Structure 1
Amino acid sequence: MAFLAVIILGAGLLMLPASRTGTGADTVITAFFTSVSAVCVTGLVTVDTATFWTPFGQGIILGLVQVGGFGIMTLATLLALLVRKSIGLRGQLVAQSETHTLNFGDVRAVLFRVARIMAAFEAATALVLTARFWIAYDDNLATALWHGAFHAVSAFNNAGFGLYSDNLIGFADDPWIIVPICGAVIAGGLGFPVLIQLFRRNTRIKNWSVHLRLTIYGTILLLVVGISLFAAFEWNRPETLGPLSLGGKVVASLAGGVFPRTAGFNSIDYGAASPDTLMVTNILMFIGGGSAGTAGGIKITTFLVLFFAIWNEIRGRDQVTIAHRSISSSSQRQALTVALLGVAAVISGTLLLLMFTHYSLEKVLFESISAFGTVGLSTGITYNLAPGAQWVLMALMFTGRIGTITVASSLALSSRPRLYQLPEERPIIG
């Protein structure tokens, strides 16, 4: 309900004449679509952010991205702490659920750490981007500062909104733009519990929790695989990386492996990408990033818990073990539920989009996964979608942003141990 309230508020502000310069678009649905995309930190757009919205409207979008990334409940709890200097039991439970803290007494400290970490990463990224924009692209410091701050907030929150009509295609071979944005995207996608553990003193690898190991190692693996495959498929294609220099191809390949991890920026035209690249991007978008962060998707931990469950089943082991720790059957069931509900959402959204559009299954599936994973990448069809298709994408973005968290939390809270055991029977599998 809090997310819906902010979406409606944001849409109302974007419908103000002061927010837009463009004409010819349906103001109501355009405002709602942009508000949903911003609050759900997705980045899909039906109009050109750089030209359709005024600086005031762009500021509204940036505010919605920041609120959506930080989390409505976390932000409300933090404000309550600042104003009342105290917090009730209900507020602590809400904050604990939102930030995924394991220690009930650490909620207040975690909230301030989250705020400090977010501010630090966004400020550092904005500083580098501002300097680069001012030196190489913008005429004055004020414009460079606005561009640097906007893209820094959008990057850390994995939103993908840009202030250029071609997003980041014009900077595809500029490491001073792409690398800082990629760094902010990765940091935001790791999740706040991981960042907090990494920043603690005397944190040794041997003392890492299972969640930290899964997130860090899983992120490294997916980045290596994503960057390598993107480079292999697009290296010599004249529509994408072909015209770039060797260094430009390396930088663009880095972006091609990082941005599908729910960031939504694009440094190439995905409408011209090869089918192989689109398939790899689909997989990366669906998996997403770390839990309790700004990334979307079913999350790395969900994917890896299912992988280890399959691996241990193949090896004939009764227990699922990761890093010398056993994973409870309830965690495995939660991971399976989240993953299968994600598949169901993508399939349902794809079928509805096929009904409302005339585009191919390849493009529609890419759009559906991008919306559910709150990624924001597109093959270029978002601008031309009918209103019915836009509402489908809005539902997918909203589901992808809060659906997995809500489902996982509700499953954990509704767990009730059965006091008796029913007779066991084994159906034929496969």
Structure 2
Amino acid sequence: MGPGGRRHRLTSRTRRAPGLLDRFHRPGQVVVTAFAVAIALGTALLSLPFATTDGRSTGPIEALFTATSAVCVTGLALVDTEAHWSLFGETVIIVLVQIGGLGIMTLATLFTLLVAGRVGLRARLAAQAESAMAYTAGPRRVLRDVVLFSAACETVLATVLTIRFATEYDFPPGRALYYGVFHSISAFNNAGFALWPDSLVRFVSDPWICLPVALGVIAGGLGFPVAFELARAWRRPSRWTVLTRITVGVSLALLAAGTLVFLITEWHNPATLGPLDGSGKLLAAFFTAVMPRSAGLNTIDIAQMYPSSWLVTDALMFIGGGSAGTAGGIKVTTLGLLAFVIWAELRGETRVNIGHRRLPEAAQRQAVAVTVISAGLVALSTYLLMVLTPHSLDEVLFEVISAATTTGLSIGVTAEGPPAGQALLVLLMFVGRIGPLTLGSALALKERTRRYELPEERVIVG
């Protein structure tokens, strides 16, 4: 056989069939498609008659809204989770929450590793696009650590809750285990789904319920890279990366400020903190400050809070939690980067430095873009929802930010709104989970790299 035939045989042997990821030009397209497929599948399952307690099919809006809220780990609901959904329906919801929390692309990469024994470049880029994680330690190790970390946190939280439900509230063992597992997955993935119509209000003074749930929310909302680094070097803060320093510092500041503000504002409110004693007020205020990280659970009636507390909650929800975690919002990292950019501008410095590191200009542009796009999305959606509903600005703004940041806190506007308004919130949850920049890259046709530089011209700002 001649050399040409041999080359042909080798080429044929090494050629592989194009996979799903190869059909997309950008990883963001895979992310959008995967989330859309998961939501469609969840909607179909929740529409089945045996997914409800009364054996009737759920309407398309309710099923779509619930599936989107679960996959996007939001927690907003149009129906009472325990009263409306059967055991099958609740199981579908919590499985969708778990899938959304870990990330469709992270699970897809894990399956690729299990089946093929390796991961391709496109699959790796797709997983990074969804989770913003850098695979510096190798995809196998990262995926293993993510799954083990999630499973460990959820197991510990479920164990504590199960024991508490069984010993203090006389739940039968099976029910205590089910409630413990359900709420541990909901809390760690910052989902906000609860099996009581008042969320966790009945446990407002129980530290064995509130503190584990709050710690689970914080652990899931820190972000996997930060959590891994803290586990390795929690005793050596001087060796932390910029990401970890900003995430931990800003998170602690927001938790402390939020707790203090809610304590001062709601101290004498008879519908929230007023009836509680001193320790109960502190516990409830801390829990309320944690939940806007995008968890959505509550131990006080959010609808009865003062409008000033709603405004603070709006700000905390808009910021959200850490990058590459289960939390939503623009992320505490973005807020920290913007703070350093502003500080450098006020000092007249041409470079933005954080400690002994220089912040790349690309990261600065990305932080500004995420903030501006998110703010514009919230403003436009608030206007549209005000046109569709008779509610006030502060009420509508609260619901819009809660949906756009996948938080799930509600003051009752969501369930009372028209189908068009609920459809708008579905879109907000979808965009909020995927991220404006990821969605934009998925919709773009192709990249254009400028191969020349234009002359610079100064523009007056302000």
- TM-score for the superposition, normalised by structure 2: 0.89
Spell out the pairing of 1:24-423 with structure 2 (5 A cutoff): 27-104=59-136, 106-200=138-232, 204-404=236-436, 406=438, 420-423=452-455
Q: Distance in 2 between matches of 1:155 and 1:134?
A: 19
Secondary structure at the residue paired with 2:358?
strand
Amino acid corresponding to residue 409 of structure 2 in structure 1? L
Shift of 1:410: 7.6
Q: Which has the larger displacement, 84-93 or 174-183? A: 84-93
Q: Residues 217 and 155 of structure 1: is their aligned pair in 2 closer, same or farther, counting only changes over 3 Å?
A: same
Partner Cα distance (2:427, 2:450) in 1: 36
Partners of 1:178 and 1:168 in 2: CA distance: 8
What is the rounded CA distance, in whole Å, between the counterparts of 1:356 and 1:251 in structure 2? 37
State whether residues 47 and 57 of structure 2, in contact with CA within 8 Å, keep that contact through their aligned partners in structure 1: no
In 2: Cα distance, 1:419 partner to 1:213 partner: 37
2: CA distance, partners of 1:122 / 1:353: 36
Equivalent pairs, count? 428
- Aligned equivalents of 1:9 and 1:78: distance in 2? 20
Please identify, of 75-84 and 27-36, the stretch whose mean Cα deviation from structure 2 is larger: 75-84
Distance 1:12 1:408 in 2: 27
Q: CA deviation at 1:250?
A: 1.3
Q: Tell me by how many angstroms 1:307 deviates.
A: 1.3
Amino acid at match of 2:211: V
Conserved 8 A contact 2:47-2:58: no
295-304 or 19-28: bigger deviation: 19-28
SS at 2:274's partner residue?
coil
Superposition CA RMSD, Å: 2.0
Change (3 A) 1:81 1:421: closer
Cα distance, 1:86 vs. partner? Answer: 2.3
Matched residues in 1 for 2:308 and 2:404: separation? 21
Gaps of 5+ in 1: none
- Give the AA of the match of 1:279: L
Question: 1:289 is aligned with what amino acid?
Answer: G
Cα shift at 1:94: 2.1
When structure 1 is superposed on structure 2, of 400-409 and 386-395 the one drifting more is 400-409
Which one-letter code corresponds to 1:373 in the other structure? T
CA offset at residue 202 of structure 1? 8.1
Per-residue CA deviation, residues 273-309 of structure 1 (Å, 9 max, x unaligned), is 0111101000000000011100000111111111111
How far did residue 219 of structure 1 move?
0.7
Letter in structure 2 aligned against 1:322: I
116-125 vs 306-315, which deviates more?
A: 306-315
Distance in 1, Cα, partners of 2:413 & 2:96:
24
State the AA in 1 paired with 2:139: V
TM, length-normalised to structure 1: 0.95
Other-structure match for 2:6 = none
Structure 1 letter corresponding to 2:418: A
CA distance in 1, matches of 2:459, 2:233: 51
Alpha-carbon shift at residue 104 of structure 1 (Å): 4.8
How many angstroms apart in 2 are the aligned matches of 1:201 and 1:217?
Answer: 16
1:164 and 1:35, CA in 2 relative to 1: closer, same or farther beyond 3 A? same
The alpha carbon displacement at 1:381 in A equals: 1.7
Q: Which runs of 5+ in 2 are unaligned?
A: 1-32
The equivalent residue for 2:11 is none
- Shift in CA distance, 207/81, structure 1 to aligned 2, threshold 3 Å: same
Shift of 1:409: 7.4
Question: Quick one: distance in 1 between partners of 2:438 and 2:43?
Answer: 24
Secondary structure of the 2:461 match is coil
Alignment deviations for residues 27-49 of structure 1 (CA, whole Å, 9 cap, x no partner): 11101000000000000001000
Question: Which residue number in structure 1 is paired with residue 29 of structure 2?
Answer: none
1:427, distance to aligned residue in structure 2 (A): 2.0
How far did 1:144 drift? 0.5
Separation in 2 of the partners of 1:160 and 1:178? 13
After TM superposition, the structure 1 stretch with the greater mean CA deviation from structure 2, 201-210 or 125-134, is 201-210
Matching residue's letter, 1:108: R
CA contact (8 A) 1:73 1:98 kept: yes
Give the 3 Å change call, closer, same or farther, for CA 409–230 of structure 1 in structure 2: farther
Q: Which one is further off, 14-23 or 391-400?
A: 14-23
TM-superposed deviation, 1:418: 5.2
Measured at CA, do residues 202 and 358 of structure 1 come closer, stay the same or move farther in structure 2, by a change above 3 Å?
closer
Cα offsets for 1:363-387 (capped at 9, x unmatched): 0000000000100001112221110
Are 1:101 and 1:107, in contact at CA under 8 Å, matched by a contact in 2? no
Q: Which shifted more, 247-256 or 89-98?
A: 89-98
* SS of equivalent residue, structure 1 residue 181: helix
